[in-house]
Chain A
Amino acid sequence: MMTVINQLNHELKQLAGSQSAQPSTITLAATGKIEVIIDFTSVNSMSCSLKEVRVNVPSLTQATFDKLKEWGQKLCQRVTYLLENIGPLEYDEDAGQVLIRSTPPDQNQAGTRFYEIILSSHSNGHFSLKRFEYQKGQSGRTQVDIQVTHEVLRKFIEDLVDTVP
């Protein structure tokens, strides 16, 4: 079986040059029946932009909340190379969810941008990464694409899979 990174490299080669409003979804399989799902909106030879990264971890089904917290903490320690550092913000034990966001978010005159990760142990262990933008004067926030180089994406996926408890 190909490693997750080899699968990702293969997919990036396949998608190179693609660009569309409708995201192209790829699924990577890792050991332990872990599934990594990425929604790409555009890919070129060096970087890519993506809507969301999701991970399904069947082994975390009905896992204790402490395991989920542990995953969140490890992740925050390892992932230090995105545009902002990330840190756990809210723990909801009843719902089995951990909310992680950029700490602090990227703030400028126009507004705020931040990463948001939700870890959940309900029904199936689940990870989701998105990026949001809030513009001053607007009500609510909108989801924006995550821009990363291939190298950063590879490292991120590697860390993501490695930190699964």
Chain B
Amino acid sequence: MVRRIDRDQQRFDKIIKGKVRQQLRKYINHGEMIGRKGRETVSIPVPNIEIPHFQHGEKGSGGVGQGEGDVGEAIGRGQDDGDGKGQAGNQQGQHIREVELSLDELADMLGEALELPRIEPKGDDALTSKKDRYTSISPTGPDSLRHFKRTYKRALKRMIATNNYDPIKPSIIPTKDDERFRSWKTVSEPHTNAAVIYMMDVSGSMTDVQKEIVRTESFWIDTWLKRQYDGIERRYIVHDAVAHEVDEDTFYRIRESGGTRISSAYRAANQIIQRDFPPSLWNIYCFQFSDGDNWGEDNTECIENLKQNIIPICNLFCYGQVRSPYGSGDFIKELRKIEEEWDNLILSEIDDKEAIYGSIKTFLGTGK
């Protein structure tokens, strides 16, 4: 039977999720939840949730009194109001309440809001991962894994067999030999995996605002892909004129002042794919972000590298051109020339934070 408090909790959760769903676009575009990301959950500030509370009556309007005094004696109203400075505000107070949502719930909301199709992984489930499954019983083990039912059953059997069991006054005392413990077997489980390679231009023309946009968009892409695949491996590449593989934290914080050679990032991505992710086994996703200000003569090498090495083995190759204070560069024009040849090449121009929502839909709306 469902307890009333559980029912109330479910109702409350439903209200909160409805609020989050209503304002999802705002959360997506402004990245309000990214800094609050936990391991499996995110905390979201949800304003204007009315929490039920007790209403107290007016002071002195009756009730139970305590202390000295006779029946019928008037109760004092306490001290007069203080004469401190300041006036009460005339605006409604802002009530912010933080709620926790799992990343899976968030991904589902994203999918619903953007009407994203579920991804159909390519290839077969050829990859395996080792997992411990508690499927067997062992005579030895730690106390924390003791199987009480089995232990007492064995003790009962033994006591009955040795005629020590009294059904009138049942008392079962397990011995060391009766003890049974849960035990695990390591099994290989087939599953589909995805490798996601993020590439970002960190040259002098990319400012912190552009990087914040990339960060927000990457968070949502990550959330969605994690929901779609059993395992996600991520790699991060930053580049100016030279590319480096870095960790996630560095990816979002680093700033360089070098020139821009996008081909260096493509070479690094190709090396990572060859080294870690055989294309026949992995669903490979590449997401690249730049302001499009590539040094002119580098464009030819970029396009060749993409056509020869990267696009053919990727589920998706997504290029997001983020507008910098100097406008949008010309690299996207080069990619538009080959856009029709490849249905897994997706291009998006991200003018500002408001454009993140549409850009995610463009990237992930293909269902690949």
A-to-B contact residues, CB < 8 Å: 88-95, 97, 99, 101, 104-105, 107, 111-112, 114, 132, 134, 136, 139-141
Q: Is B205 an interface residue (CB 8 A)?
A: yes
B-to-A contact residues, CB < 8 Å: 203-205, 240-242, 257-261, 292, 295, 325-330, 332-333, 349, 351
Is the pair B328, A92 in contact by a Cβ cutoff of 8 Å? no
Is the pair A140, B326 in contact by a Cβ cutoff of 8 Å? no
Query: Given A99-B204, A136-B351, A139-B349, A91–B258 Cβ distance below 8 Å?
Result: yes
Is the pair B327, A132 in contact by a Cβ cutoff of 8 Å? yes
Query: Given A95-B241, A140-B330, A107–B325 Cβ distance below 8 Å?
Result: yes
Is the pair A105, B325 in contact by a Cβ cutoff of 8 Å? yes
Is the pair B333, A92 in contact by a Cβ cutoff of 8 Å? no
Residues of B within 8 A of A88 (CB): 204, 257
Query: Given A91-B258, A95-B259, A97-B259, A114–B326 Cβ distance below 8 Å?
Result: yes
Is the pair B332, A139 in contact by a Cβ cutoff of 8 Å? yes
Is the pair B328, A99 in contact by a Cβ cutoff of 8 Å? no
Residues of B within 8 A of A112 (CB): 325-327
Is the pair B204, A90 in contact by a Cβ cutoff of 8 Å? yes
Is the pair A91, B328 in contact by a Cβ cutoff of 8 Å? no
Residues of A within 8 A of B333 (CB): 139-140
Query: Given A95-B241, A136-B351, A140-B333, A90–B326 Cβ distance below 8 Å?
Result: no
Most chain A beta carbons < 10 A, residue from B260, B261, B326: B326
Is the pair A92, B326 in contact by a Cβ cutoff of 8 Å? no
Is the pair A141, B327 in contact by a Cβ cutoff of 8 Å? yes
Most chain B beta carbons < 10 A, residue from A93, A99, A136: A99
Q: List 29 A-B contacts (CB under 8 A).
A: A89-B204, A90-B205, A90-B240, A90-B258, A91-B204, A92-B240, A92-B241, A92-B261, A93-B258, A94-B242, A94-B259, A95-B259, A97-B259, A99-B204, A99-B205, A101-B326, A104-B325, A105-B326, A112-B325, A114-B326, A134-B327, A136-B351, A139-B332, A139-B349, A140-B292, A140-B327, A140-B329, A141-B326, A141-B330
- Interchain CA distance A99-B295 in the complex, whole Å: 10
Residues of A within 8 A of B257 (CB): 88-91
A111 closest partner in B (C-beta): B327
Is the pair A95, B328 in contact by a Cβ cutoff of 8 Å? no
Q: Smallest distance from the beta carbon of B205 to chain A beta carbons, Å?
A: 6
Query: Given A92-B259, A139-B333, A134–B295 Cβ distance below 8 Å?
Result: no
Q: Smallest distance from the beta carbon of A86 to chain B beta carbons, Å?
A: 12
Residues of B within 8 A of A91 (CB): 204, 257-259
Residues of A within 8 A of B292 (CB): 140
Residues of A within 8 A of B240 (CB): 90, 92
Q: Smallest distance from the beta carbon of A35 to chain B beta carbons, Å?
A: 22
Residues of A within 8 A of B260 (CB): 90, 92
Q: Smallest distance from the beta carbon of A54 to chain B beta carbons, Å?
A: 16
- Interchain CA distance A105-B323 in the complex, whole Å: 13
A104 closest partner in B (C-beta): B325
